Amino acid sequence: DGALGYVREFTRHSSDVLGNLNELRLRGILTDVTLLVGGQPLRAHKAVLIACSGFFYSIFRSRAGVGVDVLSLPGGPEARGFAPLLDFMYTSRLRLSPATAPAVLAAATYLQMEHVVQACHRFIQASCEP
C-alpha cells in the first residue's frame, strides 16, 4: 500500500551478539570443535572461526571439515600467539604487547587473518620508534 516503512536499528546488536557468543564459549555451550594448539586444548564454535579466519574458512567449509571435532595444528602457531586471536574473534579486542606481538603476528599469518596481520605490523613498527 506504499505506506512509509520504519526500521529500528539496534546499534549495539552486533556487539551484544558477540558478547553472548563469547559467554557460550566460556561455558562450553554449543562449542563444536577442540583446537589443539601447542598441545593446549581450546574449545570454540566453528561458525565463529570460519567467519574470522581464511584458514578455518577453507577447512570447515569443505564437506570433510563438517565431521572434524578435534583439530590439531601441527607446526602451527604457539598457544601464546593463538589465544589472543581467539579472544579477538569473540571480543573485537586484540591484546598486544612487545613481548607477544611477534607470536600473534605469526599466528595471524598462519590463520590468514590479513587485517590483524597489518595491525600487528603497525604495532611492532610503532614499538620500534623512539
Partner 1 sequence: QEGLVATVKEAGRSIHEIPREE
What residue ranges in the chain does DSSP mark as E strands? Answer: 33-37, 40-44, 70-72
Contact letters for partner 1, residues 36-75 (x by CB under 8 A): --------------xxxxx--x------------------
Hey, what's the cell of 77? 602457531
Q: What angle do CA 69, 28, 49 make, to 5 degrees?
A: 55
At residue 14, what is the residue type? S
**CA 84 remoteness from chain centre:** 8
22 is an interface residue for partner 1 by CB under 8 A: no
The answer to whether residue 117 forms part of the interface with partner 1 (CB under 8 A) is no
Q: From the list 115, 125, 129, 130, which residue makes contact with partner 1 (rule: CB under 8 A)?
A: 115
Would you tell me which residues interact with partner 1 (CB under 8 A)?
50-54, 57, 89, 92-93, 95, 112-116, 119
